[in-house]
Amino acid sequence: MRSAVVLLTSLLYTSVSATLYFNATLHDTSLTVNSWDDTNNDGKQQPQDIICTGQDLKPVSTNQWEVKCTGGPDKRKSETVFDVFLEPNTKRFLDVIYRYSNPDVSALNVGENPDEIFFNFRVGSVDGKFFKSREFGAQQDILSLVKPEALKNPCDSLDSC
């Protein structure tokens, strides 16, 4: 029950209602990742956005990479991290665990790091080399029903932005 409360709170918390843009390119065993959390849903990188990039990352384990993130173009420290796993059989999917710290929900959670929030998503690829996704768009869709004026960017995909 407490986990459900934390999830609901984090879904309604403003920074989580942002759209997450994610793309990655696999070269043999190295991975290049570019992603940003579009905090105000305007389709542009802003200083308040959390930006995650990693160029030619070497695996920390077989088919596993870690992408450390920074906050905005000024590269301020961020507790956000992507743990990225390549599905080993078909190599057509990346499973991503999106970890970040949110002190506002720490009172609702228990454990060693009560302010730590985890989301996971799966990114597909047609060719097994380039992966692209837009995540948390459902929150944006729900927000448009509840408070349409809060949406600043009607983009449906990375291709149309």
Going from N- to C-terminal start, the domains of the chain cover 2-154
Q: What distances in angstroms separate CA 123 from CA 95, 111, 143, one per listed residue?
A: 6, 29, 23
Q: How far apart are CA 158 and CA 142, in angstroms?
A: 19
pLDDT score at 115: 75
What is the full per-residue pLDDT of the chain (161 aa) written as tens digits?
444 433 444 444 444 456 888 999 999 999 999 888 777 767 676 767 777 888 899 999 999 999 988 766 666 667 788 999 999 898 999 999 988 777 777 777 777 777 788 889 999 998 999 999 888 766 555 655 665 554 455 444 333 43
pLDDT at 76: 66
Using the Cα atoms of residue 30, residue 134, residue 120 and residue 149 in order, give the sign of their dihedral: positive
From CA 70, how far away is CA 77, in angstroms rounded? 5
pLDDT of residue 8: 40
pLDDT at residue 159 in the model = 39
Widest distance between CA atoms in the chain: 45
pTM of the model: 0.68
Residue 46, C-beta contacts closer than 8 angstroms, at least 6 positions apart? 38, 39, 40, 72
Burial class of residue 14 (count of CB atoms within 10 Å of its CB; 0-12, 13-18, 19+): exposed
